Structure 1
Amino acid sequence: MAHEQVGVGRFQAELPAIVGDIERLVRTESPSADLAAVAHSAEVVAAMGTARLGVEPELIVLDGRTHLRWRLGDGPRRVLVLGHHDTVWPLGSLATHPFEVRDGVLRGPGCFDMKAGLAMAFHALAGLSTGVTLLVTGDEELGSPSSRRLIEDEAAGCAAALVLEASAEGGALKTERKGVSRYEVRVRGRAAHAGLEPERGVNAGLEAAHQMLAVADLGDASAGTSVTPTLLAAGTTSNTVPAEGHFAVDVRVRDAAEQSRVDADMRALKPVLEGAEVEVTGGSNRPPLQRAASEELYARAQGLAERLGIGPLTAAAVGGASDGNFTAGVGTPTLDGLGAVGGGAHADHEHVLIDELPRRTALLAALLGDLLSGGERR
């Protein structure tokens, strides 16, 4: 299927089926931490994909988490299409956030991030016979602890990775994502009675406060680097000098040099109070997706959008990470945000704009056809 044969009209005709597929996926709740729910969701996704693509996927279970891989055709892998079927929404969320379509807007837990993207992928890939791997993971919202290696292995050597995460504001494609590092800082002191002999204690809570201030100073707004202390805990009772404390740190960076710089500074933290101890664990979670990894694919997509009559496209740099960070990290050209247009990811107002579904699915299909046919960049 060459890109010249793909048009918005085809997917406008398929819109009721696309919406029906999204509904089925949304009604199958799949919180990342619930292994049984994710396994059941994988069965639903597998059945849907098999019906649309005519090919059964491999079910890949890693650390109890269920992922799916379709390999279309017997030829070499040229394009990786990447998505996930887990969500942040706990079981029972449909009771408070029911699936609905009203006034051109589709709502439901996980619809935007990113079950609509999965339905779009199945429809865009239907009819393609070779050269594509579709990988749907089940732990993206946790940081892809079990699937990272799988993603990187599938992406290595591909000409392109197309990520079906939802678009940025206004439908913008995501051409740059910050890298993410996560740390835990543990502080140890010495307990003592806060009323009788506080001077005999080493206050881990106070030491944690010193360390949080030091950590916050590692950010560099001019470089786009944020280093943010987050979850904090210390102590056991209100009348005891805390003997232990800990806090989490979220790091976002635009480039690998900054990620390395922050990592070295985090590991160099030293205690301030005499007798206190500081331990830092964690590290890089996702490398940055830098603009250079996406610029050629974005230019190609821009040209195709103009030909389809749905241009011009817009691009955005975002702080949130995705599995596209991993594909870019192994050197594979990557374009992200090709999924649904809408908003409210992880929030009460999560939604998808119905009218955009045919256009975005047509763009995905055209981009796939163009890449597989070896078309020149436009």
Structure 2
Amino acid sequence: MRKRTLIGWSMTSVVLLAALAWAFAPRPVAVETGVVGSGPFEESIEEDGRTRLKDRYAVSAPVAARLTRIVLREGDRVAAGDTVAVLLPALPTMMDERAVREASARHAAATASVQRARAALERAAVKVEETQLELHRTAKLTGEGFLSAARLDSARLAFAAAQRDHEAARAEQEVAVQERERAAAALQPLGAATPARPLTLRSPVDGVVLRVVQPSEATLPVGTVLMEIGDPSRMEIVAEMLTTDAIQAQPGRRAVIERWGGEPVQGRVRRVEPAAFTKVSALGIEEQRVAVLIDLDHPPPAWDRVGDGFRVTARVVTRSVDAATLVPVGALFPYADGGLAAYRLENGRARLQPVEIGGRNASQAWVRSGLSPGQVVIVYPPPTVAEGVRVRARR
């Protein structure tokens, strides 16, 4: 009896010890894993951008005039030479009672000036006739020897001066007549004048109406912009990049336009603007940025629905490798003196592996040495992972 009891207690103790050992034994750390692959690698600069027409044409009023209502609307297609707006002469300013009385007084004064100029002209004509008769008498007496030649010269000069006075009087009369006509025009009622010929404004190019600034009828000053016209087929991408990134985005670099609503579109950097500008980021930090202009190579048919000012993502490729060993960028972490390392998953344990990388982008890193395609690495290793620690991959 005692022997059976002893055996029972012994077995119970062994089971309890085994349970305690299992309970306090270290368990494998659950980790995320990734596979080292092989393929093309691209290092790029990614920045938000927007579409912009290369050429925009603003149709404006060349003179102060009255605009008739514009029937064109945004998105309407126009051809070069099509009528886009019609201008009419602006109506004169409306006159109150005081202005009418002043204009009437000016007209009466102008009429009196015409009468005075007519009288001066008649007086000048009489003077010409008088000096002409005196010249004839003086010439006759001089020829008979009764007067000197100097007296004849004086008579000739007096006749010439009278002729000039007559011409000046005629000009004064013409000026007075024109002043009277101007004063009469100021008294003319609105709409009484003969309608002038309208001025037609035409489209300078084939394109699409981008914006109608002044659709309604109105009286406009000279230089007022009426609408903007552009050709959507001549589109470019403008990306405002940091100046430190723009140094690498030199003309000729390949670019990829993404997140516009369709498949990625290939392009090329055409120009980096020579002048930078200061822009405040969403975090309130002042940044020096510069505009990078990108031309599209062969946009797909769906790109025709993209308009001016649409938001896109521009990715400028600064380095490209056709065949590279690729590892998820989340598997790398700082190691030693400025180096990088990763954890390999080998036989259920984490193995520390220093690596040398040639470049990285947002998702992948190009590994020059340390890892081989097909190896499994731990992505975003937790702090509990170390060399030789047992790990298991999450499913």
TM-score relative to the length of structure 2: 0.20
Q: Which has the higher helix share?
A: 1
TM-score relative to the length of structure 1: 0.20
Q: Which has the higher strand share?
A: 2
